[in-house]
Structures are given as C-alpha cells and as structure tokens.
Structure 1
Amino acid sequence: MCPLGSGESVTSSVVDAQAIDLRVVQRQVDGVLEDFLSEKARAATGRGHPPEVVQSVRDFLAAGGKRIRALLCVVGWHAAGGQGDAASAVRVAASLELFVAFALIHDDIMDDSASRRGRPAVHRVMRAQLGGGERAERLGAGGALLVGNLALTWAQELLHTARLEPGRQRLVHGLYDAMLEEVMYGQYLDVMGTGRGADDIEAALRIIRYKTATATIERPLQLGAAVAGAGEAVMDTFTRLGLPLGEAFQLRDDLLDVFGSPDGACAPGLSDLREGKRTVLLALGLGLADPVQRERLGHLVGRAALEEREAAEVRDILQVTGAREQTERMIASRYEHVLRVLDQAGFPQAADRALRGLAAKATQYTS
C-alpha cells in the first residue's frame, strides 16, 4: 500500500481517453484519509481525548489493504458517466476504507484472530498493553470494539461531508445503509453458523453474499455510480457483475488462507481451520470426502490448538478430494460471467478497462 499522504488534489482529473490511473486514485483516497485523521488527532489533543485511538485507526490503514472497494467506487463513478471533479466520489471511496477498518477490527475480535495484514490484530495489541491475563483479554477486546465503532462513526462522517448533489444524496445514503445492514447480517450468519452444517455449500455462499460480495464489489460500484447520478440500468449491471465477482474474491481468499499462494507471496495459514470457518472450500471437502476423510476433517477442523502437521493433513484431504480444484473452477466461472456482463454493458472505454483489471485482481491475487 502507498503510505498515507496528501497525494494529488482530488480535483485533478484521473481519467483520459485510454485509462483511469488507479495509482492516482489510491493516492487521492489515502490523502483524504490522512487529512481527515490528522484533523481528528488535532481535535483529540485539544479536547484531551486519548491520542492512541486515532493512531490505532491510522496504523490499521497504513498496514496495507488492497483498497479495492475505494477503487471500485471511483471506477463506478466513471462508468456511470461521471465528469469533471471527482472529489465527492473520492470522499465516498475514502469513507469505505474506514468502514472496512471497522468491519475487520470487529471481525478479528469475534474470531480472536492473532494478526491482520501482517501485524498483530488491534485487540491483541491492546491486550498486550494491559499486561495479559483474563482481565486484559476482556478489556483489550472492549477497547478494540470501541476503536472499531469510532472507525464506523468516522466513515459515516466522511460520507456526510462528501458534498453530494441534493438529488443524489438520498440514494447514496440509502445504498450505504443497505451495505451496513447486509454486512451485519452476514457477520451474524458467520458467527452463529460456525461449526454447524459445515457441508452446506449454499449456506456458505449465503454468508459470502451478505458479508463480502455486496460490501466488497456491488455496493462500492453502486455508490460511485449514485454519486454520478446513474439510473437503474447501471445499478442492475453492477449487481449482475458485483455479486459473482464478490463471491470469487472471497473464494480466492479462502483458498489463500488454507493453501497459501503458489508464488509464496502468501503463506498457508491456520486461522480458518482453527476457527472451523464455514467456507465453500470446507463444504466441498466434506461433501466429496469418503467416510474416513470426513471423520478426520470433523476431528481436526475447528480445533483451536490445531498444529501445522494436522493442518497439512487437512490440506491433503481438500486436495485429493478435488475440493481445491472445484473451488478454483467456481472462481473461474464467476470471473468469466463478469467478463460477459462487461461485454454487454457498454461502459466508457476507460472504465471498462479499469473494471476488467480490477476483476482480474480480485480473483487472481496472491497476497
């Protein structure tokens, strides 16, 4: 990720007849975030608020992230015919990054994840600051919960200061509210469903649609389009390409968490296996496994103390049953569907090229 900095002015054009420069868009989004959080830090100092709260959010954003939601939001604005000053779309895009910070900080608390983006998770950092132990664990989780809440509050503040045209403000805010609701329902399904019906592929896909597909792809595209004043046809197109692309994005993420990437950029992990996370990959493995393999998966997946040698056994079962290969096929079919939708969409050339590039990035990334 580019370090947070002022970047180029958001009033500058980022599109020509050939391409949308996504690196410029990312620097603009990061510039809005840095300016906003710098002002929050100054206000905290002036009011005697604890300075580490703003710094926690700042550190979380600086740790990385693909900024794919922010990029899609601005590309959605271009695809819907946005012209001239992109400042409002960039501000809405920056708001999405604070929303993502909120969602991931809370997700890590619920999963008790050890790390995020190569750094200790926020609740683990706060737990360590309190010295460890049961009390520190409880208070660290509570502190991180409040940091996440502030990130959401600030996300909505950025949204409300985006200077939207009056006729478009209601639609933008309605889409944002729908996204928040969908993510909450998806997270609820994920938390309450872990460990139950793990072989139910449709249930796993339902969690993906609510928790990831809408908030990662569909709604960011629609939000950018709404800022530009798009009509129903564009919104429908973004649903038809956004949901399958969001599913493919999460399917790739699930594969990376278990197997890592062939190029070594992402190492195999243990978190999903230890949590017993209800993924499509696991559901396929259970469905394709013979009785002995199924028993081993049931015994190993969901063990908090799962060791690497046991995880290797799980990976082997998911490989030999064909679950890994079938997940790859699901990703490929969704990606091909997205390309077919784009072929028919008739978006401006620059937006079309950017969307195709982002679709490839969302389905083929390795870290």
Structure 2
Amino acid sequence: MSSSHLSPVAFVRPLVDAELAAFVASRRPLLLEIGAEWEPVLAALEAMISGGKRLRPAFCYWGWRGAGGGEEPGLYTAAAALELLQACALIHDDVIDNSDTRRGQPAVHRRLAALHRESGWHGDPDEFGRGAAILLGDLCLAWCEDMYQSSALPAEALAAGRGPFDLMRTEVVAGQYLDLVEQARGADTVEAALRVMRFKSAKYTIEQPLHLGAALAGRYAELAPAYTAYGIPLGIAFQLRDDVLGVFGDPEETGKPAGDDLREGKRTVLVAETLRRAAADDAEQFRRLLGDPELGAEEIAWMRSVIVDSGALEACEARIADYVADATQALENDVIADDARSALADLIVAATARKH
C-alpha cells in the first residue's frame, strides 16, 4: 500500500481498525465463557471503538516513520492499542461529565442504563449504567496493555517503548483529575485551562504517541525534542479547536448536541477568555448559566453571542494560529525523516481545521 494518494490518517485507519476488531474478537470468547451477560457490554464497546479520528495511532505511526521505521505489521498493533486507552478515557470522561452522547450515539453509561431499564432489573438504571461503564473503561485500560504487549514487534522494541507508553497513561489520568479540580474550584483563568489542556490532551493526543513511535524505532533520544516542539503546540491547538467546536460546532460533525460544553460547565480557554473580556454584567450572567444542564436554545444562543462579541472567539482563533505556526516551524528540524515530515504537516491541518 502506498501512502501517496491517502491522507496520513486515512492511510493508517483501515489497518488500525482491523487490528482493533481482531483483538476484541480474540477476547470475546473468554468474556462470554465467564458469562453471556457480557454480550451487550461487548456490543457497547464495539460501537464505541468503531468511530473516532484515530489520531493517536496516526501520530504513533508517523512518529515511527519520522524516526526511520519502515512498514512493520506489529507497529499497527502497538499503535492500535492507543485506541483502547482512548476508549477508556472517553467512557470514564462521559461518566464524569454525565454526557448523553458520544460520537453521535448514546454514551456507554446511557446505553447500559437502557439495558437495565429494558430488562426490568432491580435498582436504579442510571446507577447501574455508570457502574457498568466504569468497569468497561477499566477493561479497556487492561486490554490496552495486553494489546501493546502482544504485538509482533521485537521484545527490545516493546521494552524501549514502555517509557512513553506508561507515561501517557499516567499523564491523561492526572490531567483528568486537574480538570475535575479546576471545575470544582470554578477556575476561570486561561493559565488554569492551559495546564489541564497540556496534560489531558496535548501530551496524550500528540506528543506521547509520537514519542512512542520514535522509541519503538529505537531513536527516542534523537527525536523526542523535535517531537515535543511539534506535539505540544499542536496538541494545544487541537484542544482549542475542540473547545470551539464544543460550543459552535455542527452536531452532525461533533456527535454531541450543540452547546453541550456550556451545559457541562467545561472550564476551557474559550470560557476563560469570555469571562475575562466580557462586560461585568454579561460575565456575571454567563457564570450563572455555565454548567446548567437544562440550558435551552435561547440561553445557548445568548452565551454564544457573548463569546463572539467579547472577542473571546477571535482570541482563541488567534491562539490556534500561533500554536499551528509553532508546530509548523518545528517540522523544519531535519532530524525528522523527509517522508514523514509532509505527513506530519498534513496532520496539523487534520487536527485543527475549522468544522463550523
């Protein structure tokens, strides 16, 4: 297969999808032997992992290629393991945020609550759904490790990759906790939002997958500084774009209801910029509405107007442009193999393009 006619993500995606499907299929008999009750839970998992952008495996693959790695089937297995880590993070994140949807479908905890309700079981369906989703997220975390370790890469390559592979799992959990803390504090500073963004998103989505690819290729020490210089600003730009889409995005594109981030009260840079720039009365009312799960269309529209009129949206777009420029400049480092450099440039667009 040639990558010349495909985008960097499209080239990787079918191979990652095949690895994920094969891995889950290989584990299915074990769970069903334990109990047939696992069938609808596995169906929820399969629905969950069938979607997604596959950005983390793509960055891992192109990080490998940028370090001089060639076509190696085992690399796709190791890269695909990151999708199980992502599934764990998203399932747990939706429980924490009490989200209704994910990727245009019911969130896993909602789907499993519906199973309880339709089965006529005892107890609270929502409580059951949350508990079952937490367990499925835990299973995805365990399977992420199993899938990585079972790849056909040489043992020395897998051992070399353990550093970034292990660190990214710690960092994303730590970043998620910081996010919880900042929401509990009611933090509304750009600095607080950027700290959460760095660990919950930038390092996890882009920097560490790149580092993993370089480490698996045996060139971590040489490539890590260049990949950090590219990955951190791009990761922040990616999350900034995601935050903008969480307020202004088309639900058909985002898979979530319009304005859902405002109902969930997410303390994003976009929100911090709004509270900093808006007139005092508007800022006070914005704070009162933020995090109200019953926000209606008119209130969402008013909050959007404050974001735009205060200059917060424009400020976030300017930040995205600056971070993109930093990531683009980092690609000028000739330590990155030429055939990967153009793919990494295309990934800047894939991660930050406007979709609203």
TM-score above 0.5, yes or no: yes
Q: Which residue of 2 aligns with 1:116?
A: 102
- Aligned partner of 2:313: which letter? R
Letter in 1 for 2:48: F
Equivalent residue letter for 1:53: V
* Structure 2 partner of 1:70: 57
Does structure 1 residue 127 correspond to structure 2 residue 120? no
Q: Residue 87 of structure 2: which of 77, 98, 101 is its match?
A: 101
Match of 2:209 among 204, 217, 220: 220
Q: Is 1:52 matched up with 2:50?
A: no
> Which residue identity lines up with residue 319 of structure 1 in the other structure?
V
Q: Write out aligned runs for 1:165-204 (5 A).
A: 165-204=154-193
Asked if 2 retains the 8 angstrom alpha-carbon contact of 1:79 and 1:347, the reply is: yes
SS of residue paired to 1:51: helix
- Name the amino acid aligned to 1:59: A
Decide whether the 8 Å contact of 2:248 with 2:259 is kept in 1.
Answer: no
Q: Which moved more, 1:276-285 or 1:160-169?
A: 160-169
Give the match for residue 298 of structure 2: 309
Aligned equivalents of 2:177, 2:123: Cα separation in 1:
25
- Is the CA contact (8 Å cut-off) linking 1:40 and 1:54 kept in structure 2? no
Paired AA for residue 342 in structure 2? R
CA-CA distance at 1:364 after TM superposition: 0.7
Residue 330 of structure 1 is matched in structure 2 by 319
Q: What residue is the counterpart of 1:7 in the other structure?
A: none
Q: CA deviation at 1:196?
A: 2.7
SS in 2 for 1:194: helix
**How far is 1:15 from its partner?**
5.3
Q: Give the C-alpha shift of residue 349 in structure 1.
A: 2.5
Shift of residue 192, structure 1, vs aligned partner: 2.0
Unaligned segments of structure 1, at least 5 residues: 1-12
Over 3 Å counting, the alpha-carbon distance change for 1:244 and 1:154 in structure 2 is same
Q: Match for 1:52: what amino acid?
A: P
1:314 Cα deviation after fit: 0.6
**How many residue pairs were aligned?**
351
Quick one: which amino acid aligns to residue 111 of structure 1?
A: D
Aligned-residue identity in percent: 38
Kindly indicate whether residue 339 of structure 2 is the aligned counterpart of residue 353 of structure 1. no
Q: Tell me the distance in 2 between the aligned counterparts of 1:129 and 1:257.
A: 28
> Displacement, 1:225?
1.2
Give the secondary-structure state (helix, strand or coil) at the position aligned to 1:130: helix
- Cα contact 1:70–1:96 (8 A) shared by 2: yes
Is residue 230 from structure 1 mapped to residue 216 from structure 2 by the alignment?
no
User: Is the CA contact (8 Å cut-off) linking 1:237 and 1:345 kept in structure 2?
Assistant: no
CA drift at 1:131: 1.6
Once the two structures are TM-superposed, the CA of residue 127 in structure 1 deviates from its matched residue by 1.1
Shift of 1:149: 0.8
Distance 1:174 1:278 in 2: 31
- SS state of the match for residue 76, structure 2? helix
- For residues 17-28 of structure 1, the aligned pairs below 5 Å read 22-28=9-15
TM-score (normalised: structure 2): 0.93
Q: Report the alpha carbon displacement of residue 88 of structure 1 after superposing the two structures with TM.
A: 2.4
Equivalent residue number for residue 239 of structure 2: 250
Q: Distance in 1 between matches of 2:176 and 2:228?
A: 20
- Alpha-carbon spacing, 1:341–1:24, altered in 2? closer, same or farther (3 Å): closer
Q: Do 1:15 and 1:350's aligned partners in 2 also have CA atoms closer than 8 Å?
A: no
- Which protein has the bigger helix share? 2
Structure 1 residue matching 2:293: 3-state secondary structure: coil
Query: What residue identity is the alignment partner of 2:20?
Result: L
Is the contact made by 1:212 and 1:250 (CA closer than 8 Å) also made in structure 2? yes
* 1-structure distance, mates of 2:86, 2:64: 20
Residue-by-residue CA offset, 1:29-53 (whole Å, 9 max, x unaligned): 1111111111112333344452223
Distance 2:100 2:253 in 1: 19
Cα distance in structure 1, aligned partners of 2:284 and 2:19:
51
Q: Is the 8 A contact 2:173 2:200 kept in 1?
A: yes
Aligned-residue CA RMSD (Å): 2.2
| One-letter amino acid of the structure 1 residue matched with residue 243 of structure 2 | D
Asked if the contact 2:112/2:133 (under 8 Å) is kept, the reply is yes
- Pairwise CA distance, 1:208: 0.5
Q: State whether structure 2 residue 280 is matched by structure 1 residue 291.
A: yes
The C-alpha deviation readout for 1:140-191, integer Å capped at 9, x for no partner, is: 1000111111111111100111233343333311211110111111100111
Q: Which secondary structure does the structure 2 equivalent of 1:344 belong to?
A: coil
Task: Tell me by how many angstroms 1:348 deviates.
Answer: 2.5
Change (3 A) 1:269 1:21: closer
Equivalent position amino acid for 2:47 in 1: D
CA distance in 1, matches of 2:34, 2:264: 41
Residue 8 of structure 1 is matched in structure 2 by none
Deviations 1:96-137 (A, max 9, x none): 011100100000000010000000000001111212897111
Residue 3 of structure 1: aligned partner: none
